[in-house]
Amino acid sequence: MAVCIAVIAKENYPLYIRSVPTQGELKFHYTVHTSLDVVEEKISGVGKALADQRELYLGLLYPTEDYKVYGYVTNSKVKFVIVVDSSNTSLRDNEIRSMFRKLHNSFTDVMCNPFYNPGDPIQSKAFDSIVSTMMVQAF
Amino acid sequence: MESLILSDFEQKYYSELFLSCDVDNTKKVASNGKVRDLFRAAQLSNEVVHQIIELCGATRLGHFGRSQFYIALKLIALAQSGLPLRVESLNSVRDLPLPRFVMGKNEQETRHTVMYTDTENQGPYLPRPPGRVQAKKVSAHEMIQPCVPTVEPQPDTTSPVVSPHQSPPTSPHAWRKHKRQASGGNVDRQPSVPGVVWPPFREAQPGPVTGEGMWSAHSPPPVQESWVSFTDTPPSSTLPMHPPSAQPDSTTVRTVLSAMITNEIQRQTSGYDDPWKITDEQRQYYINQFKTIQADLTGLIPGSAAKEFFTKSKLPILELSHIWELSDFDKDGALTLDEFCAAFHLVVARKNGYDLPEKLPESLMPKLIDLDDSAGVPEPAPEVGFSASPVEVTPNKSPSMPSLNQNWPELNQSNEQWETFSERSSSSQTLTQFDSNIAPADPDTAIVHPVAIRMTPSKIHMQEMELKRTGSDHTHPTSPLIVKPPELSDETKLAATIKFPGTTVGDGYSSSDSFTSDQEPISSAVNRQRSHSGTSPEGLKVVAPPPPPPRPHTTHSRSSSLDMNRNFAAVPAGPQQPGVVAFPPAVPPRPLPTQTSVPHGHRSVEGDGLPAHTSTSPQQMPEQPNFADFSQFQAFAVDQPADDGEKPSDSGQAERCAETTGTMRTAKTDIQSEDRNATTVNSAKVSTPLAPPPKPVRRRLKSEDELRPDVEDLPQKSNVIATVLATQPSIPRSIGKDKKAIQASIRRNKETNTVLARLNSELQQQLKDLLEERISLEVQLEQLRPFSHL
């Protein structure tokens, strides 16, 4: 279960960011921001074949003491970042992948909405509900 | 003070008033004269009026500019509603009725006031008297367009009535809101608008511009004093006449929409069984609207067109977005007829003041079966595909249970793909079901687009995997081992390596990772052997047909599988040396010459070899139970490369048999000794064994020694083989010359065969040892690292 989930647009500003302990949000915002560097590094690494060879799932971006940050980039350079608690060791790579997949699917659905202008903050309730299911259910 | 927010409704009204006051068209109104009359007509005390005038800044300016005038009007409205006169409240108070002015100028005005009060009373009324209904319709027309067009046809008396009459109606319709919300939502509401008989459709705040523009454009004509004069039914009755004629095309939609909405409101309010139920009339209306955008009723409205259409309803984008989310059931970015009707209905409801539901109500669910046949058809397909693929995998799993090793990598992958499937379908289901819990076939439709796209590749992959598995299963149902040799040589090297280590490892060792890692060295070994065999084509006439794909589950029990693995390991090398080893384990060396001759003949003439093979194969069959005899591996390894021929199975069996019995070894040594006796020994290995009894021992020891040092022996052996094979190219040429030459060449080939066979067996042994080591290491690893990669 994620502690913080963020969707960052191509221009590296957040489209959607939500964290579970809503009071400690700033910390997660900062974490997500710094993780963007790692994301850029990873996606610029594969220089030759742009989207084909590059896998969407970036994996663990970097771990810190308290949590781990995972990244995922779509073909349109929209980034998803998931921050999970380090103490949550039961989370497997597959689960993280599935979370990203779900995020990507619901993000696609948001994009399909003609009333959504790409670049706007995501205010879709469906997207919110998907994210809620993935967040830590403790609260 | 200047940032006065007026609803378009108010705007129109105010501007009308302003224009009526602005007789000089100077864009400002003197504080005297009409303005004063107007203010007095507001029936407010003089002090209040003065206060208002002061607040609006007219005293400062000395006259009423437009904005001041508007402010003043609004303040009047405030005062009339009993609210304190504050500048802040100008914008904050949403639910502000229009200022009322009682002008005694003509009876129209009085009627207006009467009507005004009347309408006030009737404001939130649901059931409309028919006359009102008409008026409603008329007014409803002015969603965007103010009364102006309707004003035009009517001169003078009626027009003044009409214009203000209609201006209020142009404001949106949230009649329900009047009741419910005292202090406005995001829409200004006019519970009682002069001349408005029914709650007008209210548009969202950000909408008034167009209306106002049009209105003000047309307002000069109807400049009248009695702007407030409204007639009751007569004007209303006259009104319907105007809008149809006057309205431009762009508003036809609107008007119809509003008309429908009004009807709907009535119905809704009266019936109120299911607020989301679409009546037939509404549905017909929606269908007509659908046709204006998309002629084909079974077609789709693209998102952009729908966006334009629904933006006209002046709902906030966020709400429209939510409506879209609710109504686009299959998430394809386009609206089918059902979806469109649902969306339209939601828009209508929202405009009427209903809050948008969190989930799509049942009555609005698109009937996928009925209308969306095209959508319905593809739905089951991907669904079936998804369910099918896991199902397909499972049956493969069961038959392959005995040999888990090779299945594991594929099964793991297929599991992952199962995960993919289920996750995708479930996620899409949750996405769609947020709308409603019922979703009969909807998850399917919801899945159509994204799932279909996503699933197919993995599905195909799964099918491929399945095919591999099933193919291997089917082709060799009886004995997987038999399948092994043909499979190995048949498949690409990589595939072979996949299967090969599987069998070699045999024992159902778990991790697929280990498999894949094992495969490389093994494959290299296999490849090396193969390449060597490949290099000796001339003499050895490789007869083996491409073996079928390696079976994933060829391993049985541990011990037996190890043996089998060795057999299989030898199999790839087997085809390289056709017909060398076809010895039944128990058969004494005596038949060997015949057999060995047979292989030679086999090389030259395939037909001869066949009977020999077949004869030996039944003899070899009984040897199979001796799998557990590891000690014979080395000897048998030498014999392994025998059976190539046409039947890989035979070779497999031959190998097996060869490996299992020690007699084979002796037989082989005998053969080898024979060969050596017959011809000069080419390789060092061939020369070593002389006496049969010591040969095996020595060879075993030697092979063991050779095997121990690992892979480095392999290149040595390969070198040996290369040297051996190097001599062979001359053989085919010699065949045509002399019988003796032929025989010599035959003998040489035999020697080569035996050498290669021995090498093969040794390599097999090495391989086996390595695999055993690997297995033990893996076991240790698993113990240390519990289930990290499951």
pLDDT number for residue A87? 76
Give the pLDDT band (50/70/90) at residue B196. very low
Q: Is the ipTM of this complex over 0.95?
A: no
Query: B323-336: buried (b, 16+ CB within 10 Å) or exposed (e) per residue?
Result: bbbbbbbbbbbbbb
pLDDT tens-place string over residues B303-330:
888 888 888 888 888 888 888 888 887 8
B63 vs A: CB within 8 A: no
| pTM exceeds 0.90 | no
Q: Is the pLDDT of residue B16 over 70?
A: yes
Gap between the Cα atoms of A4 and A34, Å rounded: 14
Distance CA A7, CA A71 (A): 10
In B56-170, beta strands by DSSP E: 63-65
Contact A114 B307 (CB under 8 A): yes
pLDDT value of position B298:
82
pLDDT of B462 reads 54
pLDDT score of B541 more than 60:
no
pLDDT category at B295 given cuts 50, 70, 90 is confident
Q: Considering only alpha carbons, which residue of chain A is nearest residue B316?
A: A115
**Do B226 and B104 contact (CB within 8 A), yes or no?**
no
Full 3-state SS string of B258-301: HHHHHHHHHHHHHHCCCCCCCCHHHHHHHHHHHHHHCCCCCCCE
Higher local confidence (pLDDT), B258 or B491: B258
B520 touches chain A (CB under 8 A): no
Q: What is the phi/psi pair of residue A19, to 5°?
A: -130, 160
Tell which wins on pLDDT, B184 or B443. B443
Range name among B178-182, B444-448, B740-744 with the lowest pLDDT average: B178-182
Q: Dump the DSSP string for B546-557.
A: PPPPPPTT---S
Of A102, A112, A125, the CB nearest to B427: A102
Q: What is the CA radius of gyration of chain B?
A: 47
Query: Which residues from B are below 8 Å from A115, CB to CB?
Result: 307, 310, 317, 320-321, 324
**Range B8-111: architecture per CATH:** Orthogonal Bundle (1.10)
Band (B121; pLDDT cuts 50, 70, 90): very low
Q: How far apart are CA B226 and CA B17, in angstroms?
A: 9
pLDDT of residue B210 exceeding 90, the answer is: no
**Mapping DSSP to helix (H, G, I), strand (E, B) and coil, where does residue A73 land?**
strand
Q: Do A130 and B321 touch (CB under 8 A)?
A: no
CATH pick for A2-134 out of 3.20.20.70, 3.90.226.10, 3.40.50.1100, 3.30.450.70: 3.30.450.70
With CB atoms and an 8 Å threshold, state whether B358 touches A125: yes
Question: DSSP for B707-771?
Answer: HTTGGGHHHHHHHHHHHHHHHTTHHHHHHTT-HHHHHHHHHHHHHHHHHHHHHHHHHHHHHHHHH
In whole angstroms, give the CA distance from residue A62 to residue B139.
63
A70: its two tokens: 């995972």
* Residues sharing a CB contact under 8 Å with residue B483, sequence separation 6 or more, in sequence order: B472, B475, B476, B547, B548, B550, B551, B554, B648, B649, B652
Query: Tell me, what's the pLDDT at A27?
Result: 84
Contacts for B318 with CB less than 8 Å, ≥ 6 apart = A123
Please state, in angstroms and rounded to a whole number, the distance separating the CA atoms of residues B489 and B533: 11
Provide the residue ranges of all domains of chain B, joining segments of one domain with +: 8-111, 274-352
Measured N-to-C along each axis, helices B558-573 and B739-784 cross at an angle, to the nearest 10 degrees, of: 140
Q: B324 and A133 in contact by Cβ < 8 A?
A: no
The Cα of B88 is separated from the nearest Cα of chain A by a number of Å equal to 31
Contact yes or no for B563/B772 (Cβ under 8 A): no
Write down the pLDDT at residue B766: 94
Handedness of CA B463, B468, B474, B480 (dihedral sign): negative
Residue of A nearest to B315 (CA): A115
Residue in A closest to B332 by C-alpha:
A112
For B274-352, which CATH class?
A: mainly alpha
Confidence of residue B553 (pLDDT cuts 50, 70, 90): low
Contact A126 B431 (CB under 8 A): yes
At B150-174, the pLDDT tens digits run 334 344 444 444 444 434 443 444 3
Q: What is the C-alpha radius of gyration for chain A, rounded to an integer number of angstroms?
A: 14
| Residue among A109, A115, A124 minimizing CB distance to B320 | A115
CB contact under 8 A, B450 and A123: no
In the numeric block, the tokens 């090793």 are attached to: B405
**Would you call B420 exposed, middle or buried from its count of C-beta atoms within 10 A (0-12, 13-18, 19+)?**
buried
Residues B432-456 have a mean pLDDT of 47
Residue B475 has pLDDT above 60, yes or no: no
Pick the residue of A56, A113, A123 with the most B CBs within 10 A to test the interface with B by mutation.
Answer: A113
Above 80 in pLDDT, residue A124? Answer: yes
Work out the pLDDT band at B724, boundaries 50, 70, 90: low
pLDDT digits (tens, 9 = 90+) for B372-423: 444 444 444 444 434 444 444 444 444 444 444 444 444 444 444 444 444 4
Q: Is A123 close to B419, i.e. CB distance below 8 A?
A: no
Through-space distance between the first and last CA atoms of chain B, rounded to whole angstroms: 69
Angstroms from A132 CA to nearest CA on chain B: 12
The DSSP call for residue B144 is: S
Q: Which residues of A touch B (CB under 8 A)?
A: 94, 98, 101-102, 105-106, 108-109, 112-116, 123-126, 129-130, 133
Q: What is the pLDDT of residues B706-716, one digit of tens each?
A: 444 444 555 55
Mean pLDDT of B535-550: 52
Tell me which chain B residue has its CA closest to the CA of residue A106.
B431
Cβ of A130 within 8 Å of Cβ of B427? The answer is: yes
State the pLDDT confidence band at B669, using cuts at 50, 70 and 90.
very low
Could you give the percent of chain B with pLDDT greater than 70?
A: 24
Cα of A108 to nearest chain B Cα, Å: 9
In degrees and rounded to multiples of 5, residue B771 shows phi and psi of -65, -40
pLDDT in tens, B48-63: 777 777 777 655 666 6
Name the phi and psi angles at B506, rounded to 5.
75, -65
Q: Is A135 helix (H, G, I), strand (E, B) or coil?
A: strand
> In whole angstroms, what is the distance from residue B242 CA to residue A46 CA?
68
Calculate the dihedral angle through the C-alpha atoms of B74, B76, B82, B85, rounding to the nearest 10 degrees.
70
Average pLDDT, chain B: 56
User: How many DSSP H helices and E strands does chain A contain?
Assistant: 3, 5
User: Which residues are within 8 A (CB) of B588 and not within 5 positions of it... i.e. 6 or more apart?
Assistant: B663, B667
H helix and E strand count, chain B: 38, 4
Would you place residue B129 in the very low, low, confident or very high pLDDT band (cuts 50, 70, 90)?
very low
Helix-, strand-, coil-residue percentages of chain B, each rounded to 5: 70, 0, 30
Q: How far is A103 from chain B (nearest CA, A)?
A: 9
Give CA–CA dist B629/B637, Å, rounded: 13
Ordered by start, the domain boundaries in chain A are 2-134
